[in-house]
């Protein structure tokens, strides 16, 4: 290990610091990419719309709060340090009684409302 190695420190992505920069709810912001996948942070509160993503699975990792994801035939409840992968084509509806801070992982280009569209559709590929 040389001295020059010591001096070039790269910065990690800190989820809490990034989330503190996000002012608006339900507006995912991209923080990193891995191949053609994106890592998105989002603050949510309340009820979302039923939708699915016919082409891809979608990963939810909770940073803060309690997230409930409803399915047509059940639900899952996630707290901090928990994850769930919603399989492609499975209708789901996220719900947060109080604010939840989430990390989403999905392929680049996936819209938050999937195939449902409508006024809840957020701008895509916005970085923070």
**Minimum distance from residue 1 beta carbon to a second copy (Å):** 7
Confirm or reject binding of residue 23 to a second copy (CB under 8 A).
no
Nearer to a second copy, 41 or 113 (CB): 41
Nearer to a second copy, 26 or 50 (CB): 50
Residues in Cβ contact with 56 at an 8 Å cutoff, skipping those fewer than 6 apart: 88, 106, 107, 110
Q: Which residues of 12-29 are buried (b: 16+ CB within 10 A; e: fewer)?
A: eeebeebbeebeeebbbb
Query: Are residues 108 and 37 in contact, defined by beta-carbon separation less than 8 angstroms?
Result: yes
Distance in angstroms (rounded) separating the CA atoms of residues 117 and 24 = 19
Distance in angstroms (rounded) separating the CA atoms of residues 124 and 46 = 21
Confirm or reject binding of residue 50 to a second copy (CB under 8 A).
no
Select from 5, 23, 54, 98 the one that contacts a second copy (CB under 8 A): 5
Interacting stretch for a second copy, rule CB under 8 A, among 5-13, 22-30, 44-52, 119-127?
5-13
Interacting stretch for a second copy, rule CB under 8 A, among 20-28, 43-51, 65-73, 115-123?
65-73
Closest listed residue to residue 107, CA positions, set 34, 31, 54: 34
Which residues contribute to the site for a second copy (CB under 8 A)?
Answer: 1, 4-16, 31-35, 37, 39, 56-59, 63, 70-79, 81-85, 88, 105-107
């Amino acid at each position: 290990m040389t001295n020059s190695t010591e001096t070039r420190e790269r910065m990690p992505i800190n989820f809490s610091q990034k989330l503190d920069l996000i002012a608006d709810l339900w507006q995912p912001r991209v923080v990193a990419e891995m191949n053609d996948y994106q890592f998105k942070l989002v603050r949510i509160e309340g009820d979302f719309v039923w939708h699915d993503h016919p082409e891809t699975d979608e990963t939810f990792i909770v940073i803060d709060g309690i997230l409930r994801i409803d399915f047509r035939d059940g639900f899952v409840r996630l707290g901090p340090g928990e994850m769930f992968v919603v399989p492609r084509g499975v209708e789901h509806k996220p719900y947060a009684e109080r604010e939840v801070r989430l990390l989403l992982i999905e392929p680049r280009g996936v819209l938050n409302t999937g195939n449902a569209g409508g006024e809840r559709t957020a701008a895509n590929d916005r970085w923070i």
